[in-house]
Structures are given as structure tokens and as C-alpha cells.
A and B are shown apart, each in its own frame.
Chain A
């Protein structure tokens, strides 16, 4: 049973560029959340997708956008990259919308902005 997978593993971009990160949820899961984990910090919630729509958004600017596909996989897009966007980006999946359900995390994509 495949867990949450993310691609790419690492990414290096320069300021002003755009990046797309990809996530496939755990088998049977239909909800995908994205988190940003800066060095030495806990993960910060970016947004969550369910039924191909953004259901909740954290305190992140509009440069951060996402998408969920019919097969439940998801993309995170970041435009006009800033140095401060350098972080580990984590995707998490869960089943339906039960808030007591734990989220299962992927290994993350390490983004470095130069």
C-alpha cells in the first residue's frame, strides 16, 4: 500500500521564478493538505483540497496556489519566488473530512531559492 508520495525530492530555483510541486495521496484518501516547514520550525498550514476545491487556507499570500485532480493528486504552485520561500514543503493526505482523522505525510520537497 503506497503512502503519500511527493516529487521532486529537491529543487533549486532563483528569485522571481515559479515552481510546481506534486503530491499523490495515500491509497484511499481523498483530501490533501500542504504545509511549509521552514528550518527549525514546525509545519505551517498552507491550504487543504477536497473534491477538487480549496476548502481552507492558511496565512499565505496569493502567490501560493494549488490544484487537486480527479484522481485526488494535488499540485502546489508558488509564483514570484522569494528567498523566504526556501523550506521543506510537506503534503499530507487524509480520509474524507473527519477532523479527528490523522493526516499522513509524504517525505517532502526541499525547495531552495537562491
Chain B
């Protein structure tokens, strides 16, 4: 079975400070990992993904994520947070090429960036 855990319900950070949103995963094979962001009353927007290769993945809006196989983590990061980054962030996983087609999402982490 494949699953994702987002241990923090909410992350608070001041504008201009670095931010980290945590995600850990559990799969039987090699994971395909994704980050999405959801603004109020909107659908999910794709930020970035890890499939294979370089452990540091760069994505949209200045976000990046680091894949750590030994810690089974895929934390989302941004060097300098903006107030407009305030939203709900979801980590999702697929169990590699031999998995099914469903994306398995975490419960989400609410990011609040204060001016």
C-alpha cells in the first residue's frame, strides 16, 4: 500500500523567511512524488514532481523539494516566503511505474505567511 503523511496541520512563517512544508511517504517500490497547492475555492495546482534523478527538484513560483530516500521524505521548501504563498499544500504519491493510476494525497498543510 502507498501512503503519504503530512505531520503539520498548519505552518506559520513571516514574509521573507524560508519555509518548509513536510511530507513523508510509504511505498513498496520507487515513489513518484508530487506537490500541489490549493487556494480557497479553487482546484489543485501542480507545483513540482520527483520521478527519478536529482534529489532536488525545482518547480513553479520559486518552490523546490528535496527527495530523501533514507528518510522517505519529500519536503517542500522556498527560500523566501511571500504573503501570496498562503494556501493549502498537498503532497501526493504513486508507487512507481508498477502502481495503479490513483494519486494518494496527504491531508494537507495550511501555510500562513504573515507580513
The residues of A with any CB-CB pair to B shorter than 8 Å are 4, 6, 31, 33, 35, 40-45, 48, 55-56, 58, 90, 92, 97, 99-100, 102-108
- Write the residues of chain B forming the contact surface with A, with a CB cutoff of 8 angstroms: 32, 34, 36, 41-46, 49, 51, 90, 92, 94, 96-97, 99-108
Residues of B within 8 Å of A45, CB to CB, are 102-104
Q: With a CB–CB cut-off of 8 A, which chain B residues contact A35? A: 103
> In the complex the two chains form, is B102's CB within 8 Å of A58's CB?
yes
Chain B residues within 8 Å of A55, by CB: 101
CB < 8 Å: which of A31, A100, A104 contacts B32? A100
Quick one: closest A residue to B32, CB to CB?
A100
Q: Are A56 and B36 in contact (CB under 8 A)?
A: no
Taking CB atoms, residues of chain A closer than 8 Å to B42 are 107-108
Measured CA separation A55–B103 after assembly (Å): 14
In contact, B101 and A41 (Cβ under 8 angstroms): no
Partner among B34, B49, B108 whose Cβ is within 8 Å of the Cβ of A41: B108
Choice from A40, A103, A108 contacting B103 with Cβ under 8 Å: A103
A99 near B90 with CB under 8 A, answer no
Contact between chains at B101 and A56 (CB < 8 Å): yes
- What are 8 sample pairs from A and B whose C-beta atoms fall under 8 A apart? A42-B105, A42-B107, A56-B102, A100-B94, A100-B97, A102-B34, A102-B46, A105-B46
Instruction: Kindly state the separation between the CA atoms of A91 and B59 in the bound complex, as whole angstroms.
Output: 22
Of the listed residues B32, B43, B90, B108, the one surrounded by the most CB atoms of chain A closer than 10 A to its CB is B43
* Nearest CB on A from B95, distance (A): 9
8 shortest A-B CB distances, which residue pairs?
A42-B105, A45-B102, A105-B43, A105-B44, A100-B51, A107-B43, A102-B46, A56-B101
Given the contacts A41-B107, A104-B46, A48 and B102 also touching, CB distance less than 8 Å: yes
Greatest chain B CB density within 10 A among A4, A43, A90, A104 is at A43
